[in-house]
């Protein structure tokens, strides 16, 4: 009897390239000013949005307040979507190959605006049936509760789950929960890791 295995992929910088600096660049804020004056506060607002603590409208209102009302929600939305880059080359083929063998899911610290855009735009996400999204769970990686929520839904032993993420702290969190954690560097590296784990 074959063991039930699940492979989970992060979204940002694993399936889709992310360019955070594109947000303030689209608003016409020079990089030095963006870093010095706004970066920390922007990250704080985005983290709340990704944790499901704000609606999209509330997020735009707080971001508008940060910039003293200089930008309307339409421009802020455009700037937000500029953060999303192209799909990571080679990943759709690898995802498709894995999906023919195992259950696959997305594990992502993301927000409603970004995820809806990605789902509408990128064909890679059509291969997935399970989505563990921070704003839906109201939990962020690498919180232990995030991994517990994923495992509770999957109902498989942690050692049967293979968790792919580009950030070391998220991989460490997965390993602490008992999952197999794989740090993403490139599609080629990931394919070799999968072969070493007898997934391909």
Q: What is the pLDDT of residue 2?
A: 60
Q: What is the average per-residue pLDDT within 165-170?
A: 98
98 and 143, same domain (yes or no)? yes
The number of distinct structural domains making up the chain is 2
CATH of the domain at 112: 3.40.50.1000
Q: What is the pLDDT of residue 3?
A: 76
Digit-coded pLDDT (tens) for 10-41: 999 999 999 999 999 999 999 999 999 999 99
Task: At 153, list the tokens.
Answer: 């839904």
Task: At 184, list the tokens.
Answer: 């993403």
The whole-chain average pLDDT of the chain stands at 96
Domain extent at residue 25: 20-82
- Provide the whole-model pTM: 0.96
110 and 152, same domain (yes or no)? yes
CB neighbour list of residue 35: distance below 8 Å, 6 or more residues apart: none
**pLDDT at position 1 over 50:** no
Q: Identify the CA nearest to 184 among candidates 7, 5, 1.
A: 7
Q: What is the average per-residue pLDDT within 42-52?
A: 97
Distances (CA, A) of 197 to 5, 99, 132, 164: 12, 16, 23, 13
76 and 101, same domain (yes or no)? no
Q: Identify the CA nearest to 113 among candidates 60, 71, 164, 68.
A: 60
């Amino acid at each position: 009897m074959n063991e039930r295995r699940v492979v989970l992929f992060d979204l940002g910088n694993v399936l889709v390239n992310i360019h955070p600096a594109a947000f303030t660049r689209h608003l016409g804020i020079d990089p030095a000013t963006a870093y010095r004056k706004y970066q920390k506060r922007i990250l704080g607002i985005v983290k709340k949005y990704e944790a499901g603590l704000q609606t999209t409208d509330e997020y735009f209102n707080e971001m508008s307040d940060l910039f003293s009302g200089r930008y309307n929600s339409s421009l802020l939305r455009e700037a937000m979507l500029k953060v999303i880059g192209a799909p990571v080359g080679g990943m759709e083929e690898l995802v498709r190959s894995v999906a023919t063998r195992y259950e696959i899911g997305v594990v992502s610290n993301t927000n409603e605006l970004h995820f809806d855009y990605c789902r509408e735009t990128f064909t890679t996400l059509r291969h997935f049936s399970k989505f563990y999204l921070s704003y839906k769970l109201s939990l962020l990686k690498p919180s232990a509760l995030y991994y517990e929520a994923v495992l509770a839904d999957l109902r498989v032993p942690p050692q049967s789950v293979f968790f792919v993420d580009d950030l070391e702290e998220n991989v460490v969190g997965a390993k602490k929960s008992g999952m197999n954690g794989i740090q993403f560097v490139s599609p080629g590296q990931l394919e070799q890791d999968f072969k070493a784990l007898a997934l391909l």
